[in-house]
C-alpha cells in the first residue's frame, strides 16, 4: 500500500513541485527587498529545473493513474518538457524586461509557473473534464499576465479582449464536452473510442460535439476564423508574455487536439479531415497575407503565429503517424524561434515598449550585432530557410500531407511559405541595409537574456541541421499515446 501511494505521488510530483514553487514565490515576496526581486525569478528557474528532473523521472512509469484521470506516456512527457522549456526561456527573457518596465512583481513569475501547471494537466489526462480544468488554470493565469502592466491601457485592453473571447470559446468547449458525454455516456477519451467502435454512441450528437470542441480548440491555436483576438492581444501584452502566449497555450491545445482526434475519434476521421484541412488553408493564407502589410513588428509576429498554426493544421489533416510526429517536432521548433524573436523585441522596445515598429530596427546589425544576428536566425527559421528548425519542420509537415495525397494542401502550404519570406526578410534588410535613426541608442544585453537567446539559437540550428535526433525519439511517442 505504501509503495502504491509513493507511485501515485510520483506521477503528480512535477505539478506538485511547480505549484509549491509558485506558492513559495508569492510568500517570499514580502521578505525580499524591492531592489532584489530578481531573486524570485531565479527561484522560479530552480523550480523549472527541479520539475524537469521529476518529469524525466517518469520515463518508464507509463500507465493510467487515479482512476484513469492521469496518464503517463512518452507523448505527454515530451509536451511537459516543451512547456518547461517555454516557461524557462520566457522567465529568462523577463528579468531585464521587468527591470526596464519597472514591473518587478512576484506574481508575474508565479503565474507563469501556474500556467505551466495548467498546460501539464491538459496533456496528462485522457478525461475531457480534467483537460478543461487544465485549460481554465492556464487561461486564468494568462488573463492576469496579459494585464500585468496595470497602468498601460493597451495591456488592459489586451487582457479584457482575451478574457471575453476566451470565456466565449470555453463555453463552446464545455458544451462540446457535455454533448460528447451525452453521446457516449463518458468523458474518457478511451471510452469514447470504444463507444464508437461498438456502435453504442449517438453519432449525430457526437458530430455536433466534435464541431464545438474544434471551435474551442481553434480559438486557442488562433485558427481562422477564430483568430481575430490574436494581433490585438499580442500587441498590447508585455513582449515576453506575447512570446509565451504564442507558444505555450498553442502547443498544449494542439496536444489535446491530437489526443481527441487520433485516440477518441479516428473512426469518424472522414468527418474531421476535410474540416481541419480547409481551416489549415484559410489560417496560413490569411495569416501570411495580412502579415505582409504590418509595420508593427509585434502585430507582424502575431499574424505570423496564425500562419504557423495553419502549417501545423496541415500535419493534423494528414491523419497519419508521420503527421503526428511532424506536429510534435514543429511545436518545439516554433516555440524556440518565436520566443527567441519576442525576446529580442522585448529588449529593443525599451521602456513602455515604444520601439515596436520595423523602422526602429534600422541599423541594428551594426549597432547591436548579437541581437541582430539572433533575430535573423529566428526570422530565417520562421521563413523556412534550410539548415534551420523551421525548414525541417515544414519539410516533415508537407511530406506527411503528400503521403496522405493532400496535394492541394501541400501546394498552398509551399506557396504560403514562399510568400512569408518577404515580410521576414523585410526586417533583416532593415537591420543590415538601412541607416539607424538619429535617436538610436544601444541597449545592454544582460546575462539572463544572452542565455535565453543562446538556448533558442542553439535549439533552432541544432534541430535544423540534425533533425533526425529528435525525430527518432518522437516516433516512440505515437505508440504510447494510443
- 27-36, 307-316, 410-419, range with the lowest pLDDT: 27-36
For 192-218, what is the mean pLDDT? 88
What 8-state DSSP symbol labels residue 419?
H
Q: The whole model's pTM is what?
A: 0.92
- pLDDT beyond 80 at 15: yes
Residue 188's alpha-carbon distances to 75, 124, 152, 200, in angstroms, are 17, 13, 43, 15
The span from the first CA to the last CA of the chain, in angstroms, equals: 29
Segments in 292-361 forming alpha helices (H): 297-318, 321-348
How many helices (H) and strands (E) the chain has is answered by: 19, 2
For residue 425, give the nearest of 472, 471, 375, 464 by alpha carbon. 375
H or E element that contains 123 = helix 106-123
For residue 229, give the nearest of 209, 243, 246 by alpha carbon. 246
Q: Which three cell numbers stand for residue 480?
A: 504510447
User: Which pLDDT belongs to residue 476?
Assistant: 62
pLDDT grade, residue 186 (50/70/90)?
confident
- 233-242, 284-293, 335-344, 456-465, range with the lowest pLDDT: 233-242
- From CA 245, how far away is CA 250, in angstroms rounded? 7
For 409-458, what is each residue's pLDDT tens digit?
Answer: 999 999 999 999 999 999 999 888 887 776 667 777 788 888 999 999 99
For 102-128, what is each residue's pLDDT tens digit?
Answer: 777 778 899 999 999 999 999 988 889
- What mean pLDDT value characterizes the chain? 87
- pLDDT beyond 60 at 2: no
For 389-411, what is the mean pLDDT? 92
User: What's the chain's length in residues?
Assistant: 482
> Residues 79, 55: contact at Cβ < 8 Å?
no
168 contacts: CB under 8 Å, gap ≥ 6: 219
- From CA 15, how far away is CA 98, in angstroms rounded? 26
State the residue for C-alpha cell 509558485. 22
- pLDDT beyond 50 at 3: no
For 268-299, what is each residue's pLDDT tens digit?
Answer: 888 888 899 999 999 999 999 999 988 889 89
User: Which pLDDT belongs to residue 6?
Assistant: 63
- From CA 255, how far away is CA 83, in angstroms rounded? 11
User: Which pLDDT belongs to residue 228?
Assistant: 84
Q: Which three cell numbers stand for residue 75?
A: 507523448
- From CA 174, how far away is CA 155, in angstroms rounded? 28
User: Which pLDDT belongs to residue 399?
Assistant: 92
Residue that wins the pLDDT comparison between 98 and 459:
459
Q: Of all residues in the chain, what percent carry a pLDDT higher than 90?
A: 41
State the residue for C-alpha cell 541607416. 435
- 32-41, 160-169, 463-472, range with the lowest pLDDT: 32-41
Q: Which three cell numbers stand for residue 242?
A: 506575447
For 248-275, what is each residue's pLDDT tens digit?
Answer: 899 999 999 999 998 888 888 888 888 9
Angle (CA) 245 251 253, round 5°: 95
pLDDT grade, residue 197 (50/70/90)?
confident
For residue 417, give the nearest of 330, 286, 307, 325 by alpha carbon. 307
User: Which pLDDT belongs to residue 1?
Assistant: 38
Three-state SS sequence of 217-267: HHHHCCCCCCCCCHHHHHHHCCHHHHHHHHHHHHHHHHHHHHHHHHHHCHH
- From CA 402, how far away is CA 409, in angstroms rounded? 9
Amino acid at each position: 500500500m505504501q509503495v502504491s501511494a509513493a507511485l501515485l505521488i510520483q506521477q503528480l510530483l512535477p505539478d506538485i513541485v511547480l505549484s509549491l514553487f509558485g506558492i513559495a514565490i508569492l510568500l517570499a515576496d514580502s521578505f525580499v527587498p524591492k531592489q532584489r526581486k530578481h531573486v524570485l525569478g531565479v527561484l522560479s528557474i530552480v523550480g523549472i529545473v527541479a520539475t524537469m528532473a521529476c518529469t524525466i523521472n517518469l520515463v518508464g512509469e507509463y500507465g493510467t493513474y487515479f482512476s484513469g484521470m492521469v496518464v503517463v506516456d512518452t507523448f505527454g512527457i515530451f509536451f511537459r518538457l516543451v512547456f518547461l522549456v517555454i516557461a524557462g526561456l520566457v522567465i529568462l527573457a523577463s528579468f531585464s524586461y521587468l527591470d526596464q518596465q519597472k514591473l518587478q512583481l512576484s506574481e508575474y513569475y508565479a503565474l507563469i509557473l501556474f500556467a505551466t501547471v495548467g498546460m501539464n494537466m491538459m496533456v496528462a489526462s485522457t478525461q475531457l473534464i480534467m483537460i478543461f480544468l487544465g485549460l481554465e488554470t492556464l487561461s486564468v493565469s494568462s488573463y492576469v499576465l496579459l494585464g500585468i502592466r496595470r497602468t498601460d491601457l493597451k495591456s488592459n485592453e489586451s487582457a479584457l479582449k482575451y478574457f471575453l473571447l476566451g470565456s466565449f470559446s470555453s463555453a463552446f468547449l464545455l458544451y462540446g464536452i457535455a454533448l460528447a458525454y451525452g453521446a457516449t455516456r463518458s468523458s474518457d477519451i478511451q471510452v469514447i473510442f470504444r463507444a464508437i467502435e461498438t456502435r453504442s454512441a449517438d453519432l449525430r450528437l457526437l458530430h455536433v460535439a466534435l464541431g464545438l470542441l474544434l471551435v474551442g480548440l481553434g480559438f486557442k491555436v488562433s485558427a481562422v476564423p477564430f483568430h481575430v483576438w490574436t494581433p490585438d492581444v499580442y500587441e498590447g501584452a508585455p513582449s515576453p508574455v506575447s512570446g509565451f502566449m504564442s507558444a505555450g497555450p498553442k502547443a498544449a491545445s494542439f496536444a489535446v487536439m491530437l489526443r481527441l482526434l487520433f485516440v477518441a475519434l479516428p473512426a469518424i476521421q472522414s468527418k474531421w479531415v476535410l474540416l481541419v484541412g480547409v481551416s489549415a488553408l484559410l489560417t496560413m493564407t490569411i495569416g501570411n497575407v495580412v502579415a505582409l502589410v504590418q509595420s508593427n513588428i509585434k502585430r507582424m509576429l502575431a499574424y505570423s503565429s496564425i500562419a504557423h498554426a495553419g502549417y501545423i493544421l496541415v500535419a493534423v489533416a494528414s491523419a497519419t503517424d508521420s503527421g503526428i510526429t511532424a506536429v510534435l517536432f514543429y511545436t518545439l521548433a516554433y516555440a524556440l524561434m518565436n520566443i527567441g524573436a519576442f525576446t529580442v523585441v522585448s529588449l529593443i522596445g525599451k521602456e513602455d515598449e515604444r520601439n515596436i515598429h520595423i523602422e526602429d530596427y534600422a541599423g541594428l546589425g551594426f549597432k547591436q550585432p548579437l541581437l541582430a544576428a539572433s533575430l535573423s536566425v529566428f526570422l530565417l527559421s520562421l521563413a523556412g530557410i534550410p539548415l534551420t528548425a523551421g525548414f525541417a519542420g515544414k519539410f516533415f509537415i508537407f511530406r506527411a500531407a503528400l503521403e496522405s495525397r493532400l496535394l492541394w494542401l501541400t501546394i498552398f502550404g509551399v506557396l504560403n511559405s514562399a510568400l512569408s519570406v518577404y515580410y521576414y526578410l523585410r526586417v533583416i534588410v532593415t537591420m543590415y541595409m538601412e541607416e539607424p535613426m538619429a535617436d538610436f541608442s544601444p541597449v545592454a544585453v544582460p546575462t539572463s537574456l544572452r542565455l535565453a537567446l543562446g538556448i533558442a539559437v542553439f535549439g533552432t540550428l541544432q534541430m535544423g541541421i540534425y533533425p533526425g535526433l529528435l525525430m527518432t525519439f518522437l516516433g516512440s511517442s505515437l505508440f504510447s499515446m494510443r
